[in-house]
Amino acid sequence: MDNNFNDKTVIITGGSQGVGAATARKFAAAGANLVLVARSKKGLENLAEELRPKTRVKTVTMDVSDLDACTNLFKKAEFEFGAVHILVNNAGCHVRGPAVNIATEDLADMIDVNLRAPIVLSSLAIPYLRESGGGAIINVGSLAGRTPVPGAATYAASKAGLRAFTMALAEELRGSPIKVAVVSPGPIDTGFIMSNIDIVTDLTFSQPISTAEEVADEIMKLCINDKRERSMPPISGFLTTMTYLFPGIGRVMRPIFESRGRRVKRRLKAQMRAAQE
């Protein structure tokens, strides 16, 4: 698709806060119509009120693991705006800790939200994107999906599956006007990790922290460039590739990275305490 987002219709899941909200703001500034999806009605309406002076916004309060709601989402978007051009699968779920300590319903929820929902939504989106003449499906993955992360086994598995699905779907749609890509960020400065900083693995904080706005920028770029994946930051993408291909290197380097991550966590927690005083 071209780089003109004016009057394009963009569906963003997990669209009430964090990366989803940052992405919504950037697409709104570019003139796109927005369909914002989340479980929090209040969060959606607050953001919609902020953005409606700039563009047209429809909010849909739903759980992305609800298959009927997923089907109806596209019908609502087409009815409201006449077409669908871009799907951003951003909704995420992460319950942290060793797999044996996590409730079975939480394990299932991570797979449902992080993997099953994007697969279903992407499949449902394709006929609408074809009808509109082309578009993009952008999945929000994670560096955890590029290499095993102890303490985040199910989350890592769901994001690895999402990455594999993205690459396979891109091949299925190769030569068509539909772009499929994944952005794989490391830690992001949002409540997704900052509000749970004590239980987030030290390994996570060993990598540079991106902002939600930086991830949103990459999502918009992936809609129009020829890349299938963007790892953030690139050096972390390289490191995850090496530790995946050569697990021994990862085991040797992990104590070093964890030590670095602990230092970063201490600094961040000190900054958070200072901000509250």
C-beta separation of 132 from 74 below 8 A: no
Based on the residue annotation, tell me whether 155 is a catalytic residue of this protein: yes
The catalytic residue among 155, 165, 192, 205 is: 155
Give φ, ψ of 139 to 5 degrees: -100, 135
* Secondary structure of residue 34 in the 3-state scheme: strand
- What is the C-alpha to C-alpha distance for residues 188 and 142, in angstroms, rounded to an integer? 10
Closest CA to 141 of 119, 164, 159: 159
Closest among 162, 68, 163 to 124, alpha carbons compared: 68
- Cite the DSSP H helix spans in the chain: 18-29, 41-51, 67-81, 104-111, 117-131, 153-172, 191-194, 212-224, 234-245, 247-276
The answer to whether the bond into 185 is cis (omega within 30° of 0) is no
Handedness of CA 13, 18, 19, 23 (dihedral sign): positive
Structure token pair of residue 244:
């995946």
State the catalytic residues.
Answer: 155
